[in-house]
Structure 1
Amino acid sequence: MTGREVAAVAAPTGPAAASPVGAATAATLAKAHRYTSPRADAPLVVFDFDHTLYDGDSGSHLFAWLIKRSWWRCILALLLAPVFGPMVAFLPTRRAGISGFVWAGTVGVQRVRDLDALTDAYVAQHVDQIRGRLLPLALEVFHAHRERGDRVVVATGAPPELARAILAFAAHEDVPVVGTLAGPRFGAVVAARHCHNEEKMRMLRERGWGDIDAAYSDSSADLPLLRAARRPVVVNPKPGSIERFRRELPPGTPILNWGCPGRGGAPVAAAVGADGRLPSDPAQPASAR
């Protein structure tokens, strides 16, 4: 199933279309035809995915589903947990820790395209749950940047096929996605290059996306990305990370909550101002207010 086919499955209909998330997604779908190809010199805007556009850790949800496909995978994951679980919590060993659980979920799958097919199957089978996790305020900002003609890129620690398939729900499947790269190893498909922390910036620069005008992320692991942006915006941070963001990012950096329960940031009723201003826009001088 392709991204566009997933989008067709995911398009809100009936009662779902009347829900706040469904209505926001439907509005974006209705306006998607207005997007034009951005100029080569248009401002570059980079969005993180998990806890920024999507409420939760999309990769963990996928990997849990891959493991739960069979009882023996569940047992295998439990056996691996004492070793690989603690590794996920620490930046230097995170890739290895995640790879252990991805291995448990994909052992027997040895081609990346087969993992992509499983990813699309997961998305198609969990339409309502995934649609409910897309953040309407985030989609509003995402859409507004595209309406302006900005170059919009998603950079995520999740598998890129997963982010593309979920973004297809909101007609953004044509947005470039940089994500964790997988490769065959030990009879399975594991994370070969984790799009995370400094590595995320290296992967963006390799594709020519190093001159960043604005960046949106929730994670302190994305401080290299946020520092690289002329206008960083922190959204849905962990409460314990807020002081670090304030110390390490320019004064006045917005720290917002776009509707992620349990996350920090100043709650906002609308992410795009009545005058079309976006969170990453420079503050107006007092004389202009």
Structure 2
Amino acid sequence: MTEPYPTPRDDAQLVVFDFDHTLYDGDSGSHLFAWLIKRNPLRLLAAILATPLLGPLVALLPTRRFGISGYVWIATFGLHQARDFNKVIDQYVLKHEPQIRQHLLPHALQVFAAHRRAGDRVIVATGAPPELARAILAFVAEQGVPVIGSEVGPRLGAMGATRHCHNEEKMRMLRERGYGDIAIAYSDSTADLPLLQAAKAPVVVNPKHSRVAYFGKVLPAGTPILNWGCPGRGGKPLPN
């Protein structure tokens, strides 16, 4: 039986983990929404027709949230309440448990668990729906960790992001919940530069190869840039 983690003291250091490409190899939200779209021929057709417009929006950081919101609307058309959306998420996670487990990065989970054993205050801050990250972490007995994610609500007959946990907004959401003094932050993405720059000790994990040099320029000298076993991504590989 797994030993319970110690309850963090109020003055314990705060450690923030991104989720996608940090604990999870891939984009968990995209996997969820792709499943929702593909299981319905009309949604699939709508997504194909919309891709010439939405695809370029997703590709560019300033417009990414608009493109993603378009695909989310297509994927969730017919859902009218956040609780119904969360039920669909739980259904997806249970149905795809073997595949999802393969996306979880073992070394990342070891680091995550080590912080919890040390009594650190650990939180996940992700652009994915928070229920998705919670359900996936439950597979590896990491329940009880606060998760901040993109908030969703009814929008034109479907679900839409009412607040996207992304870039500067992620930091605002963290601060609003009392998580302002960050000791260590782990993320793969330049979208999380505000988070990494706010941390006393930023750690870049699994970045795109094309962004490694950029991280080296904009973050303090000596910032670790690591690869935690994420194929196709940059960073110093794990020792054999």
TM-score by structure 2 length? 0.98
Q: Distance in 2 between matches of 1:81 and 1:192?
A: 22
Q: Distance in 1 between matches of 2:62 and 2:207?
A: 21
Letter in 2 for 1:51: H
Does residue 93 in structure 1 map to residue 63 in structure 2? yes
Aligned partner of 1:250 in structure 2 is 220
Q: Are 1:132 and 2:79 an aligned pair?
A: no
Partner in structure 2 of residue 200 of structure 1: 170
Tell me the distance in 1 between the aligned counterparts of 2:221 and 2:111.
22
Q: Give distance in 2, aligned partners of 1:269 and 1:61.
A: 30
1-structure distance, mates of 2:213, 2:189:
13
Show the counterpart of 1:170. Answer: 140
Match of 2:51 in 1: 81
2:155 aligned with 1:185: yes
- Aligned-partner residue type, residue 218 of structure 1: D
Deviation at 1:92, TM superposition (A): 2.2
For the residue of structure 1 that corresponds to 2:182, the secondary structure is coil
Residue type at the aligned position of 1:145? H
1:201 partner SS: helix
Could you tell me which residue of structure 1 aligns to residue 187 of structure 2? 217
The residue number in structure 2 matching 1:275 is none
Deviation at 1:262, TM superposition (A): 0.6
Equivalent AA in structure 2 for residue 157 of structure 1: G
Letter in 2 for 1:179: G
CA distance in 2, matches of 1:106, 1:241: 33
Secondary structure (helix, strand or coil) at the match of 2:139 reads helix
| 1:269 CA drift (Å) | 3.1
Q: How does 1:90-129 map to 2 (within 5 A)?
A: 90-129=60-99
- Report how far residue 86 of structure 1 moved: 1.0
**Aligned residue among 29, 39, 48 for 1:59:** 29
* Residue number in structure 1 paired with 2:236: 266
Aligned length: 240
**TM-score calculated relative to the size of structure 1:** 0.81
Identity of aligned residues (%): 66
**Structure 1 residue 96: Cα displacement:** 1.3
Question: What runs of 5+ residues in structure 2 fail to find an aligned partner?
Answer: none
Q: Tell me, what secondary structure is at the counterpart of 1:77?
A: helix
Q: Which of 128, 147, 163 is residue 117 of structure 2 equivalent to?
A: 147
Runs of 4 or more off by more than 6 Å in structure 1?
A: none
Measured in 1, the distance between the counterparts of 2:219 and 2:96 equals 37
Counterpart-to-counterpart distance in 1, 2:135 and 2:76: 19
SS at match of 1:105: helix
AA at the equivalent of 2:143: E
Unaligned runs of 5+ in 1: 1-29, 271-289
Contact kept, 8 Å, 1:216 with 1:235, in 2: the verdict is: yes
Deviation at 1:34, TM superposition (A): 2.8
Q: Tell me what 1:232 maps to.
A: 202
Distance in 2, Cα, partners of 1:227 & 1:262: 25
Structure-1 separation of matches of 2:56 and 2:87: 29
Report the CA distance between 1:81 and its aligned residue. 1.1
Q: Which amino acid aligns with 1:131?
A: R
**Cα deviation, residue 259, structure 1:** 0.3
CA shift for structure 1 position 67: 0.6
Question: In 1, Cα distance between the equivalents of 2:63 and 2:83?
Answer: 26
Contact 1:108 1:188 in 2 (8 A): yes
Larger Rg: 1
Distance, in Å, in 2 between the alignment partners of 1:40 and 1:83 is: 47
